[in-house]
Chain A
Amino acid sequence: MAAVLDDEQARWLREIAPSITFSSCDATGAPSLGQGIGVRVTASSGVRVFMVEARNRAAVADLRAGRPIAVVFTHSPTLRSLQLKAPRAVEAALEPGDREHIDAYVNAVVKAWVYAPEPFVRKLLATGPGPILAFEIEPTAAFDQTPGPQAGAALPGGAR
């Protein structure tokens, strides 16, 4: 079955340093919101999203409880946005190179956000306090989330 994340999208995610916002919900349907500090495309065309646990406690708790996830990646200069959804996200240990990848991600965002002062961006994308977590997502649906009337349109691909 075709992967939801196609080659172009995978390449796009590798090349840019997108803003990353994810959401889950608890058993009562209350949404939680979290912020990512880096993304890697996995060998199986899934994504591994990094986050600071202390800054995303509610969302992390929901993901650990096996709740669904939606994650939006945005290329700030163009606002092109991609939303991936999956029925669950699996927590994974940080791998060699992940930490360096996160640092490179933050540096790239600092460079990309030309209108924001560097200390502002570094505070917003702080890699602390406390541990950094990784969650892996095998998306089952993808949507164009670029702001505008087409936002939310399903993108081609299929359920795995």
Chain B
Amino acid sequence: MTGIALDEIRDALEGAVPGVVATTAGDGTPNVCYLSQVEYVDDGHVALSFQFFNKTRRNILSNPRAVVAVVDPMSGAAYRMFLRYLRTETHGAVFERMRAKLASIATATGADGIFMLRGSDIYRVERIEMLEGTALPKPQRPSRLTALRACSDRLTSSHDLGSGLDALLLGLVQHFAIEHAMVLAIDEHRERFYVLASSGYESSGIGSEIPLDVGTIGIAAARRTPIRLAHAAADYAYVRVLRERAAEDPVLRERLEHAIPFPGLRAPQSQLSVPIEAGDRVLGVLHVESAEERRFSHEDEDALVVLARQLGAFLRALDMAADDPVTANAPRAPERTGQPELCVRHFASNDSVFFGDDYLIKGVAGAILWRLVNAFVNEKREHFSNRELRADKTLGLPELSDNLEARICLLQKRLHEHDAGVTVEKTGRGRFQLRVARTLRLSSQS
């Protein structure tokens, strides 16, 4: 016994080298079986996948002691973990994490439809030993703690959600070399996610929507647990493909935003979805993906969980902060000379807003924009506050948990992408300005 802690051998639990488990029947007959997964639960527990009613299953129910052999794929260090079976979980975060991973393993091994997780067998780790002389020096990996701190610094120094999201996504690229990432917010009222920010895709997809139950993103939010897949997974198909499938369904197509193409890799090999939480609420999901297999480590997962929580706290603080007092009006945006007037069309049935024939946004963000341009044209107002939007019952903001900052951020980014001479600029906490550089003509249809 060498007193090795479970936290020290997490690389060996990544499944690159299949693990084996030894158990003993009531009559003392030993049994050896391969394992699909050894899941880290906490610093004293692991979970083994229960897929079949096999000898291992029968043995641990009568004799709870087991030995599991795992190998660190980078150093070659071989470990034996001496375990005691405690219970089987058939739902909850650990189960969902393992179910998603099993699906990815099944796809990677061509065993779709055969591998089904019946339960997560939770074991206490009683001791761990390393086989003498197995470990090679490990290749140095960049410190995830340093990267985490750098990203956290960027987020903390941001003053509004838009710049915070941009800083976070840039930080993921620069400090974690994560090229493809998106932040999705939950619209609880309309039961969908909408893309709030993204990086690394041909088109940003900001404002595009997916149903709440799609892929790793859906499970991460519903179960409030990170879902990390090392291989492509047919059962958890890539969000983009699922979204395209949903768009073919006439009912779903009507319900979901479909004019904006959804970002996302067509065939990611690795995916990591992390819930963005604040208190007892899930506000959205931070989703990263890669065309490489085994791209995201448990250290990436830990770091992104911390960043997502920080983002959640940041979002909540923005939503709860009192509005700044009215400041001196910023100058009106200079009118663009020679530009024709802009016809802003509003469809009341779904609060969609078009600039001319170009679709811009719908839903709550569409209703907000319509209110702003009306105040601009009819009352000559440019400055607005979150408080007055919350007081306006016609906007359809939920009484609680309105995510108003996220909706304004979405509107801000869509207007910026559209570049039609209409922008929303933050002017303080809970305050913003509608800047219009063209003459607007408003048209509303039911």
Interface, chain A (partner B; CB < 8 A):
21-25, 29-33, 35, 54-55, 67-72, 74, 79, 81, 83, 85, 119-121, 123-124, 126, 128-129, 145, 147-149, 151-152
Contact = CB atoms under 8 A, between A and B. Distances in A.
Given A55-B131, A145-B32, 16 more contacts: A22-B32, A23-B22, A29-B65, A31-B22, A31-B24, A35-B78, A68-B29, A70-B31, A72-B20, A85-B30, A123-B134, A149-B52, A149-B114, A151-B34, A152-B54, A152-B56
Contacts, number: 107
Interface of B: 18, 20, 22-24, 26, 28-34, 36, 51-52, 54-56, 63, 65-69, 71, 76, 78, 80, 111, 114, 131-136
Contacts of B78: 35, 124
Contacts of B36: 147
B24 A25 contact: yes
A65 to B, nearest CB: 11
A23 B56 CA distance: 13
A31 B30 contact: yes
Contacts of B29: 68, 70, 85
A59 to B, nearest CB: 9
Contacts of A149: 51-52, 114
Nearest to A70: B30
A147 B34 contact: yes
Contacts of A81: 34
A42 to B, nearest CB: 21
A137 to B, nearest CB: 12
Nearest to B54: A152
A5 B30 CA distance: 18
Interface centre among A23, A25, A31, A70 (most CB of B within 10 A): A31
B67 to A, nearest CB: 4
A35 B65 contact: no
B54 A151 contact: yes
Nearest to A121: B76
